Amino acid sequence: MRDYCAHVARTKRRAYRDDVYWGRPVPGFGDRRARLWIVGLAPAAHGANRTGRMFTGDSSGDWLFAALHQHGFATQPESTSRDDGQALHDAYVSAAVRCAPPGNKPTPEEIDACRPFLERELPALRRLRVVLCLGQIAFTATLRLLSGAGFEIPRPRPRFAHAAHYELRTPDEARREIILLASYHPSRQNTQTRKLTRRMWNAAFRRARRLLDS
């Protein structure tokens, strides 16, 4: 996976031949005091792998930042580069995998290798209340992360589905609660086939905003 994203950074896409690609693991981005955490799949080969910021410079990012801006989490409706002035309020964005995987399909071993990034971000987001997972891989990785952090997993075990909603709690005295939401990923495959529509997408962010404001 590291070899692949470095190869893409050298060969580039014709439309970006003058760009200097990031070509390395992509860190999370956003407000460290965020109550909303958005977990995606992985950097896109010519999106975040090029720009060095999650969901920046591709069509999935266009969908994400438009929704974040509409619902008060982002200062701008677009995210085009690391120095475009974009800032997030009460939201943090990262991914289950931190390097662009071949075919956008990471292997189980690659997902496991990237898990420590999520494991470090979870305790750092001390005000976290809602996690929105984009796609099944992100959902599975986040559920495993929360289970390992001491959150009780409901029975029957949560399953990925668009608009799924689960409440997870720790059994200790602190009694921490996190609400796990799921959405289809805003990939071209999902948006162009209308498996994911703007209405469905915005409904997920309305729900997140409503949960945070309640």
90-142 pLDDT, tens digit per residue, is 999 999 999 999 988 999 999 999 999 999 999 999 999 999 999 999 999 99
Structure tokens at 169: 């709690």
In sequence order, the β-bridge partners of residue 39 are 94, 133
Q: In this predicted structure, what is the pLDDT of residue 172?
A: 76
| pLDDT, position 171 | 86
pLDDT at 135: 97
Per the prediction, the chain carries an average pLDDT of: 95
pLDDT of residue 173: 67
pLDDT bucket at 214, cuts 50 / 70 / 90: confident
Instruction: Mean pLDDT check: name the lowest of 88-97, 164-173, 179-188, 200-209.
Output: 164-173
Return the pLDDT at 152. 94
Q: What is the pTM of this model?
A: 0.96
Tell me the CATH number at 140. Answer: 3.40.470.10
Question: For residue 174, is pLDDT > 80?
Answer: no
Q: Mind listing the pLDDT tens digit for each residue in 121-134?
A: 999 999 999 999 99
CA distance 23 to 82: 14
Is it true that the peptide bond before 102 is cis, omega within 30 degrees of 0? no
For residue 176, count CB atoms less than 10 angstroms from its CB and return exposed for 0-12, middle for 13-18, buried for 19 or more: middle
Please report the pLDDT score of residue 61 as a whole number. 96
At 141 the pLDDT is 97
Task: Tell me the per-residue pLDDT of 145-173, one tens digit each, with 9 for 90 and over.
Answer: 999 999 999 999 999 999 999 999 998 76
Q: What pLDDT does residue 71 have?
A: 97
Residue 170 is given by DSSP the state -
pLDDT tens across 62-72, in order? 999 999 999 99
| pLDDT above 70: residue 44 | yes
In the chain, the number of structural domains is 1
Rounded distance between C-alpha atoms, residue 80 and residue 166, angstroms: 33
Q: Mean pLDDT over residues 186-204, rounded?
A: 97
- Element of type H or E holding 94: strand 91-95
Containing structural domain, residue 24: 2-213
